[in-house]
Amino acid sequence: MASLSPSSVPSVSDRIGFFDLQGQQRRIHDDVRQRVDAVLTHGQFILGPEVAELEGKLAAFAGVPHAIAVSSGRDALMIGLMALGIGPGDAVFVPAFTFAATAGAVCSINATPIFVDVDPTTRNMDPADLERAVAEVVAAGELKPRVIMPVDLYGLPADYEAIGKIAARHDMVVFSDAAQSFGGRSGNSRVGGMAPISATSFYPTKPLGCYGDGGAILTDNDEIAEAVRTLRSHGRQGTGDVAVRNGITGRLDTIQAAVLLSKLTIFEAELERRDQIAKRYDAGLTGKVGVQKRPAGYFSANAIYTITVEDRDALKAALDAQGIGNAFFYRLALHQHPAFAEAPKRPLPVSEMLASTVISLPMHPELTDAEVDRVIAAVVAAVA
């Protein structure tokens, strides 16, 4: 494509950011500063009172007894697997189309990820292919099926009813990777309470994000919760003199908890705005590009709004030229990453198709209706 002339380059004010953390920060700046200053004053920078307050509010929001704040979403997955006693010889079933941290957490504890294809419309784990994958592992007899780890892709909860039935038949645990979906729900069940154990991320660009790395594990199981609390602090209990487990340094620092407490005050309103934006995108783009299907009764946290198009490189070039932020989530399916080359091979056609056709559009609560309409018009014109 020819380079843009200076007069045709969008000005900074005309650009539409893929994310906009600065706009959000301006709205909560004073509250954040007050909460952070309070931490600086009391000086309990690790597991200070703000961490306990945050854990209580997260648990209440999700409707579960326990929320344990940890150092990142990836650490939440790893600590959760450790709390379940997963290790060498165990099979953990994960969707093949998601971020690398999902499979990476499995590999980090020397368990084996088994990749499962996804549904082409919801883009979440396909229960039918999950059945096939479990049957293949059982027939091979080399690994023990232990955990099913669905991912709530882009913020949309997976089909936990169907997945839970499969898990029950094979005596497995469902461990939700809710890194993108805190705030989502299905019916009356909120993310964090839709599986026996869930992990979420507070990376800055998540619907509920801090100003650094952070995450949490949510569960209704007292034993799992106690194991997680022990594992996140070097495996220590009581006075901290004795390590009863081989744990890690996995705690959320107090300043990040303070930031999250501030963001929780506007979280419900931001979720509603994200939903309005997603519905506006749907109305303008359905039938022109592929959009993620949200089943009836499901509410997505809308972390990322992602479409599919045949020539996404051409669309990206058109959006770039107009100053419209975009990204590829994700450019590779998990089995296409060199890091996971040793995982058992299975046919994963839908994941491969999505990896070559997805492109994500701006999604954040600061977007105006006019900006959303401008994005829609740009996409429609580019794919016409």
Together in a domain, 215 and 318:
no
Distance CA 115, CA 351 (A): 10
Nearest Cα to Cα of residue 134 among 162, 102, 108, 101: 162
Among 235, 261, 287, the domain-final residue is: 261
Q: What is the pLDDT of residue 364?
A: 98
* Parent domain of 356: 6-25+266-383
Q: Is residue 1 part of a domain?
A: no
DSSP β-ladder status, 173-177 and 197-201: parallel
Distance CA 213, CA 97 (A): 23
Together in a domain, 186 and 201:
yes
For the entire predicted model, the pTM comes to 0.95
Q: What is the pLDDT of residue 6?
A: 40
Q: What is the pLDDT of residue 237?
A: 78
Radius of gyration for the chain, computed over Cα atoms and rounded to the nearest angstrom: 21
Together in a domain, 44 and 190:
yes
- Are 245 and 231 within 8 A, CB to CB? yes
Together in a domain, 147 and 10:
no
DSSP β-ladder status, 215-219 and 66-70: antiparallel
Six token digits for residue 13: 């004010």
Together in a domain, 276 and 379:
yes
Among 228, 244, 261, the domain-final residue is: 261
Predicted confidence pLDDT, tens digits, the chain (384 residues) = 333 434 445 666 799 999 999 999 999 999 999 999 999 999 999 999 999 999 999 999 999 999 999 999 999 999 999 999 999 999 999 999 999 999 999 999 999 999 999 999 999 999 999 999 999 999 999 999 999 999 999 999 999 999 999 999 999 999 999 999 999 999 999 999 999 999 999 999 999 999 999 999 999 999 999 999 999 999 887 666 788 888 999 999 999 999 999 999 999 999 999 999 999 999 999 999 999 999 999 999 999 999 999 999 999 999 999 999 999 999 999 999 999 999 999 999 999 999 999 999 999 999 999 999 999 999 999 999
Together in a domain, 20 and 32:
no
Instruction: Return the amino acid letter for 67.
Output: A
Distance CA 372, CA 353 (A): 27
Domains identified in the chain, total number: 2
Distance CA 28, CA 182 (A): 20
Together in a domain, 111 and 229:
yes
Together in a domain, 53 and 14:
no
Among 243, 261, 279, the domain-final residue is: 261
Together in a domain, 16 and 70:
no
Here the CATH number for the domain that contains residue 274 is: 3.90.1150.10
Q: Is residue 364 part of a domain?
A: yes
Q: What is the pLDDT of residue 106?
A: 98
Together in a domain, 307 and 251:
no
Distance CA 34, CA 41 (A): 10
